[in-house]
A and B are shown apart, each in its own frame.
Chain A
Amino acid sequence: MDLYYLPRSGFSQLIDVLRNHAETIMVPKAQDGAMVFSELDPGEEIEAGWQEVQDAGRYSLEKTESPRWFKWATGPQALKPIVYPPREALWRVEKQGITFESVPESVPATAIIGVRACDLAALSLLDKHFLGSQFPDTAYKSRRDSLFIVAVDCARSAATCFCVSTGDGPSATQGFDIALSELEDGFVLRSGSARGESLLKGFSRANERQITLSEKQVDQAISMQTRQLPAQDLRSLINKSLESDAWEAIAARCLSCGNCTSVCPTCFCHSESALAELDGSSSTQYREWDSCFTQSHSYIHGIVIRSETATRYRQWFTHKLANWHEQYGRSGCVGCGRCISWCPVGIDITQEVATLNGN
Chain B
Amino acid sequence: MVTNPQSPYLPKTVEVVERIQETQTVFTLRLRFIDEGFSEQYRFQPGQFNMLYLYGVGEIPISIVSDPDGLPFIDHAIRVVGRVTKGMAKLKKGDRLGLRGPYGQGWPMDLARDKNLLVITGGLGCAPVVSAINYVIERRADFNKLTIMQGVKLPSDLVWRSRYEQWSQIPDTEIYLAADEGAANWPWHVGRVTELFDRMSLAPDTVAMLCGPEGMMRVCIKELVQRTIKEEFIFLSMERNMQCAVGSCGHCQFGPYFVCKDGPVFCYAKVKQLLAIKGV
Contact = CB atoms under 8 A, between A and B. Distances in A.
Nearest to B244: A272
A134 B239 CA distance: 21
Contact of A280 (B12, B56, B248): B56
Interface stretch (A9-17, A103-111, A155-163, A252-260): A103-111
B249 to A, nearest CB: 5
B96 A135 contact: no
Interface in A205-240: 239
Given A100-B12, A298-B251, A138 B4 contact: yes
B200 interface: no
B44 interface: no
Contacts of A95: 55-56
Contact of B277 (A98, A103, A242, A269): A242
A243 B277 contact: yes
B246 A134 contact: yes
B72 interface: no
Contact of A133 (B11, B246, B251): B246
A325 to B, nearest CB: 8
Interface string A310-325: 1100110011001101
B250 interface: yes
A347 interface: no
Contact of B1 (A106, A299, A306): A106
A271 B241 CA distance: 10
Interface of A is mostly: mixed
Contact of A138 (B8, B12, B58, B240): B8
Interface string B1-41: 11111111111110000000000000000000000000000
Contacts of B144: none
Contacts of B90: none
B13 A97 contact: yes
Given A306-B279, A323-B256, A274 B58 contact: yes
Contacts of A319: 253
B171 interface: no
> A104, A130, A142 — which one has the most chain B CB atoms within 10 A of its CB?
A142
Given A271-B251, A306-B279, A319-B253, A142 B11 contact: no
Contacts of A274: 56-59
A90 B6 CA distance: 10
A326 B256 contact: yes
A283 B59 CA distance: 12
B249 A323 contact: no
Contacts of A322: 256
A28 to B, nearest CB: 24
Contacts of B273: 239
Given A139-B4, A274-B57, A276-B56, A323 B253 contact: yes
B111 interface: no
B81 interface: yes
A142 B250 contact: no
B59 A272 contact: yes
A314 B279 contact: yes
A269 B3 contact: no
Contacts, number: 156
Nearest to A292: B250
A134 B180 CA distance: 44
B62 to A, nearest CB: 12
B98 A269 contact: no
Given A90-B9, A290-B250, A104 B241 contact: no
B4 A300 contact: no
A93 interface: yes
Interface string A282-311: 010101001010001111111001111011
Contact of B241 (A297, A308, A318): A297
Interface string A115-141: 000000000000001100111111100
B250 A93 contact: no
B184 interface: no
A98 B249 contact: no
> B9, B81, B249, B255 — which one has the most chain A CB atoms within 10 A of its CB?
B9
Contact of A100 (B58, B98, B280): B98
Interface string A259-278: 00000000011111110100
A327 interface: yes
Contact of B9 (A107, A134, A146, A285): A285
A102 B8 contact: no
B2 A107 contact: yes
Nearest to B124: A301
Interface in B235-280: 239-241, 243-244, 246-251, 253, 255-256, 258, 261, 273, 277-280
A23 interface: yes
Contacts of A285: 9, 53, 59
Nearest to B253: A319
Given A93-B98, A271-B249, A138 B241 contact: no
Given A97-B96, A142-B2, A306-B279, A91 B250 contact: no
A319 B261 CA distance: 17
Nearest to B98: A100
B1 A109 contact: yes
B246 to A, nearest CB: 4
A305 B55 contact: no
B187 interface: no
A133 B248 contact: yes
Given A272-B58, A298-B240, 5 more contacts: A93-B55, A102-B7, A106-B3, A130-B248, A133-B246
The 3 closest A-B pairs by CB, nearest first: A311-B279, A326-B256, A269-B250
6 contacts: A91-B9, A108-B1, A135-B8, A135-B246, A315-B279, A315-B280
